[in-house]
Structure 1
Amino acid sequence: MKIIYLHHPYNQNQIKDKNVVLAMGFFGGVHLGHQAVLKQARKEADQRDLPLAAMTFDHHPSVVFPKPGLDGTIYLSSVERKAELMQKFGVDLLYVVSFTSNLAKLSPQDFVDQYMVQLHAKVIVAGFDYTYGPREIADMDHLPTYAKDRFTIVTVPELLLDGEKVSSTRIRTDLKQSNVDHANLFLGYTYQTTGLVVHGEARGRTLGFPTANILSDPKSRIPGIGIYAVRIKIGSKWWPGMASIGRNVTFGEHRPITIEINIFDFDQEIYGEMVRVDWYHYVRGEIKFDAVEGLIEQLKLDEKNIRQYFANLTI
C-alpha cells in the first residue's frame, strides 16, 4: 500500500493520474463500521478493476473545531496503526490529509472538487454520517448536488451490533470504563497500543512478579484503571502476560498512573524496546491491600486466571 501525505493546498503532481474508488472518513480505530465501508469500497473497486484509495486526516477535525468532551489529540489508532489496518482491509492507496484551518475554510463544493474529483475518484464510498463541511449543507444527502454526475456515490448504512450503533464514541467510552472486551467486539480485533519500556520502581521483582514498565505513546488512548490479560510484542515475538494500569495504591496515596506488565515465562532486560500491547480482557479493578502478602496472593490468582483465559482462547 502506498501512502501519500497532502497539505492544503497540495501539488497536483502528488496525485497519481489514475482513476480510483475512494473511501472517505476519519476511520478512527478502523472499527467494524469503518470496515463495512472499506469492504463495500473494495467490492466496488473489484467490479470496476480500479485501485481502492482511502482518505483520512492526520489529526481529528476537533483540533480545529473544538468539541466538548472530545480530546482531538488522543486516538484509538495512530496514523501508522490506521495505515496498517487499512492495508489489511484491502486499501491500495492511502491519502493522509493534514486538517488545518486553511483546509477547513473550503466550501463543500471546493472540497468535493479538490479532494474527490481531483483525486480521480470514479466512485465515492462513505458512511451514512460522513460530512465534508457543516452537516446541514455537506452531508451524504447533499453530495449528488456537488458531484454533478462526475462520480458515483455509495452510502454505507449504519452498522448495528446487538441493537447498538458501532461508533468510535462508544469504543472510547468502553476504554475509559476499562471495558476492553466490549471495545474489542466493536473494533472487530484486539485493541492495541504502543510504548517504550522504561525503568520503574523495580518493586515487582521483589514481589516475585517482575514487570516491564511501559511509557505509552501520549497520543494513544489507554484503557482505564484495572488488571488485564494482554499480549506484548517484543521484537518479532508475542508473549502473554498480565498488565496493571493503576496507581499502586497499596504503596501510597496520590501516585501517578503507570502501565506495568508481568510477562509470562520471560526473563530478559528489555529497557529501551518499543513494544506493542494487545489488550484482550479486563480481569478486575485495582485493590488496596493492607499488607503486601495479600497483594502477592491476589497476583498469583490473577496469573492463574489469565493463563487459563489464554489457554481457552486456543481451544
Structure 2
Amino acid sequence: MIIVKDLEELKTVYNENKVHVTIGNFDGVHVGHREFLHQIKKDCIQDHAKFVIVTFVPHPLKILKAHSGFLINTYAERRELLASCGADYLLEIDFTRDFSTLTPEEFLTKHIFSFDGISKIYLGHDFAFGANKSGDFHVAKTFCEHKKTALMLQQEYKIKSSSVSSTEVRNAILAGDIPKANELLGRNYFLSGRVIKGEGRGKKIGYPTANLGYDKELIIPAKGVYITQVKIKDMIYNSVTNIGVNPTFNTGYEVHVESHLLDFTQDIYGEEIRVSFIKKLRDEKKFPSVNDLVEQITADAELAREYFKHE
C-alpha cells in the first residue's frame, strides 16, 4: 500500500487511469469495516481498478470535540490494518479547523475529484462529511451524477442483530469486555509500544513485568488483570497483564500496562512489543500486604496457564 499526499499523484506519479475510492475514519478497522473493504477489493479486481482509501489525521473527534485517549489504534497501526484489507493507495488528509469548514461540495472537488479517473465511490451507511456533517449519501449522489461517477452505499453490518461500530468497540474496551471487543474487531484487541523502565517491584517479588510505553491517545481497557499474549519480533508468549495504578504500593494516578510473560526470563527492556488481550480475570485490587499480592499474582498466572492449556 502506497501513501499519497493528494489523489492527483495517482495520475502524475503513478500513471493510474481507473480507481475505486472509499472515505472514512476506520478507527480499529473492525469486522464491519473489513467486510466493507474486502467487498470493495473484490470489485476492484473485477473492474481492473486500483483501490484507494481516503481517511483523516488526526481523527476529527480530536479537533472538533477535543477528545483524547479514545483511539482504538495508532495511525501507524491503522495503516497496517488497512493494507491487510487490500488497499493499493492511502490518502491521509490533514484534518484541521479550516478543513472542517469546507462544504461537502468543496471537499469532494478539492480532495476527491482532484483525480479524474474515479470510477466508483463507496460510502459507509452512516458516513457524513463537510461542515457540520452536512454531506450525506444524497448530497454525494447528486455531485457524483454530475461527474458521471457511480456511488455505492454500504448496508449496516450487524452481529447477532447488534450494530458494529468503533463506538461499540470502545465501549466494550472501557468495560473490560474483551471477548465482545474482539468479536466486534474480528481479531484480538492489542496495545503496542516499547518496554520502558518501571519501578522494578515485579522482579523483586518474583514476577518481573514488561512496562508498556503506550500512546496516550489510545483507549485503555478497564483497570484489572487480563489474560494476554505478548508478541516480540516474530515470537508470541503467553502472559498476564495488569492495567492500573498499583494501589498496593500507592504509586499515584498514572495508569500502567504491565505484562508478566509466563515462564520467560529474557531481558526485553527497550524492545517493541504488542500485547493482545483475550479476557479479563479480575478487577484491580489493593492488597493488605505484599505477600497477599504475590499469592494473588500466582493464582492469576495459574489461571492463565490453565486457559492456554485448553486453547
TM-score (norm 1): 0.90
Aligned to 1:102: 98
| Residue 104 (structure 1) shift | 2.1
Distance between the aligned counterparts of 2:96 and 2:14, measured in 1?
20
Which of 236, 239, 252 is matched with 2:237 structurally? 239
- 1:168 match: 166
Q: Which runs of 5+ in 1 are unaligned?
A: none
Equivalence for 1:43: 42
Which whole-Å CA distance do the structure 2 matches of 1:84 and 1:54 have between them?
A: 13
Shift of 1:219: 2.3
Give the match for residue 215 of structure 1: 213
Pick the aligned partner of 2:183 from 177, 182, 185.
185
Secondary structure of residue in 2 paired with 1:56: strand
Partner of 1:81: 77
1:262 to 1:234, Cα distance in 2 relative to 1, 3 A: same
Q: Does the aligned pair in 2 maintain the 1:4–1:14 contact within 8 Å?
A: no
Aligned to 2:124: 127
- Supply the RMSD in Å over aligned alpha carbons: 2.3
How many residues of Structure 1 are paired with residues of Structure 2 in the alignment? 309
Answer whether contact 2:11 2:17 (CA < 8 A) is retained: no
TM-score, normalised with respect to structure 2? 0.91
2:33 matches 1:34: yes
Paired with 2:110 and 2:59, the residues of 1 have a C-alpha distance of 20
Structure 2 matches for 1:49-88, cutoff 5 A? 49-66=48-65, 71-72=67-68, 74-88=70-84
Residue 255 (structure 1) shift: 4.6
Judged with a 3 Å threshold, the aligned counterparts in structure 2 of structure 1 residues 218 and 242 are, in CA distance, closer, same or farther, namely: same
User: Using the alignment, how far apart are the partners of 1:6 and 1:304 within structure 2?
Assistant: 53
Compared CA separation, residues 164 and 134, structure 1 to 2 (3 A): farther
User: What residue in structure 2 maps to residue 142 of structure 1?
Assistant: 139
Counterpart AA for 1:63? K
The AA in structure 1 aligned to 2:155 is P
The answer as to whether partners of 1:40 and 1:125 remain within 8 angstroms in 2 is no
Unaligned runs of 5+ in 2: none
Listed one character per residue, the Cα deviations across residues 43-86 of structure 1 (whole Å, up to 9, x for unaligned) are 2212201111111111111233227xxx2564111221111111
Find the counterpart in structure 1 of residue 24 from structure 2.
25
Match for 1:94: what amino acid?
A: L
In 2, Cα distance between equivalents of 1:298 and 1:206: 16
Report percent identity of matched pairs. 29
SS of 1:294 mapped into structure 2? helix
